[in-house]
Amino acid sequence: MKSEESALVLFSGGQDSTTCLFWAKKEFKEVRTVGFNYGQRHNYEVEVAKTIAKIADVPFELITIDILSKTIDNSLTNLAIEVQPKPENALPNTFVPGRNLILLTYASILARSFGIKHIVTGISQTDFSGYPDCREKFVKSAQKTINLALETDIEIHTPLMFKNKEVIWQLSDELGVFDLVRHNTLTCYNGIMADGCGKCPSCLLRNNGLTRYLKKREKLLRQKG
């Protein structure tokens, strides 16, 4: 049953957060979105997010945070550094230290001001590239700290936490937004919409999941006759 309450979705216009947005629309009576401009590789991302929010008919708030772009050793905020595949025993150079903690904190402050108790984020530890702030234990800990700090009762929902990309594609299909997610989102580190450049780590993950899901989908359709 749909909750009578409202939710705030952390929204970047990528595959995961777009799927989360439509998941939230199904689960909650009212949904708002918040996007962040933190000096990420492609500012275009914000425009994509705005467009999808309009299609989904939900308000979109943009928060600018410039501290993250000052962490100069990562390839997401420093264009001079090329995105590299994850080294075996180290974090990939797309890791932005502190990102999820800062974004969840800002989102919670905004949620509090709207009287919203539910936050939805696409954080997933399944394909998490080793990012420490994508783990469930981090989210649980952040929720606790944020509630202590803001005197709130906020619940952070992570519907994708244990889903791989194939299952996330399936979820978008079940939510009726498979085509929207496929054609209108931006996940590629090189800033190319939809199926992307096909070569960066983000595209590889997304497209491998898509290929697997399309096979599964075909099989399911055949079984249905």
Binding site for Zn ion (CB under 5 A): 188, 190, 196-197, 200, 203
- How far apart are alpha carbons 10 and 203 in whole angstroms? 21
User: Closest CB to Zn ion among 14 and 196?
Assistant: 196
User: Closest CB to Zn ion among 177 and 203?
Assistant: 203
- How far apart are alpha carbons 20 and 55 in whole angstroms? 15
User: Closest CB to Zn ion among 159 and 196?
Assistant: 196
Of 34, 6, 24, whose CA–CA distance to 160 is shortest? 24
> What's the closest the beta carbon of residue 204 comes to Zn ion, in angstroms?
8
User: Closest CB to Zn ion among 135 and 199?
Assistant: 199
> What's the closest the beta carbon of residue 198 comes to Zn ion, in angstroms?
6
Q: Could you write out the three-class secondary structure of 143-191?
A: HHHHHHHHCCCCEEECCCCCCCHHHHHHHHHHCCCHHHHHHHCCCCCCC
> What's the closest the beta carbon of residue 147 comes to Zn ion, in angstroms?
37
> What's the closest the beta carbon of residue 187 comes to Zn ion, in angstroms?
7
